[in-house]
Amino acid sequence: VRDRTILYDVKSFVTPGDAKKFWRRCNPQPGDFLIVSRGATIGRVAVVEHDTPFCLMGSVILCKLQREWSADFLYYALNADHAQTALWFSSASSAQQALYLRDVAELPIPIPPEEERIEIVRKLNEVIKANQRIHTRVRSEIESLKILRSTLIAHAVTGRIKVA
C-alpha cells in the first residue's frame, strides 16, 4: 500500500487454492479501501482502483464502502492530519502497535453534504495536480542546473573560462 495506490509488483504469491479460500473471506474490489494496520506505515490508505486480483496480508484492513460514499472524499478525509493522528493514537493503545477494525469504525470523520464533498474532492484533485506539475518542473530545473554546474566545472578545469 503506497500513497493512494497499491503496488502489484510483489514477489510473494499464494497458491491458486489458497487464493480462492482467501477471496471467499476477503475479496478487494474497485472502490474499496485498504488501511495499513501494523508496521512503520500504520494508517497509510489506498483505494482499490483496478480489477487486478490480489490477496491481503494480515497487516491490512479492508473497508467496503456503501454506494453513497465517495472513495475519493474518504481517501482525503482519512489522510487528513486529524484522522491520521486519531489512527496513530488508537494504535498506541495496545501492547503492539496495531490498528483494529473497531478503531477505524470509531474514527470521527465529518461528512458534509454530497455537493460539498464533490467540490472538496474537485478542489483537492486540482491542487494535487498543480503541485505535481510544479514538482516535475522543479526536478527538471534541478537536473538542468546540475548539467550546467558540471559543464562550468569542466570548462574551468580545462581553462576554457577564467576563474577570478
Q: What is the pLDDT of residues 2-30, one digit of tens each?
A: 676 676 677 777 788 877 777 777 788 88
Confidence (pLDDT) at 130: 97
Confidence (pLDDT) at 93: 59
Confidence (pLDDT) at 92: 66
Q: CA 50, CA 39: separation in Å to the nearest integer?
A: 25
Do the beta carbons of residue 83 and residue 24 sit within 8 Å? no
Find the mean pLDDT for residues 103-119: 87
pLDDT in tens, 130-151: 999 999 999 999 999 999 999 9
Q: Which of 38-42, 74-78, 89-93, 142-146 has the highest mean pLDDT?
A: 142-146
pLDDT in tens, 45-70: 888 888 877 777 777 888 887 766 77
- pTM summary value: 0.71
Confidence (pLDDT) at 44: 86
Confidence (pLDDT) at 144: 97
HEC assignment per residue over 81-142 = HHHHHHHHHHHCCCCCCECCHHHHHCCCCCCCCHHHHHHHHHHHHHHHHHHHHHHHHHHHHH
Q: At 82, list the grid cell.
A: 486529524
Given a cut of 90, is residue 105 above it in pLDDT? no
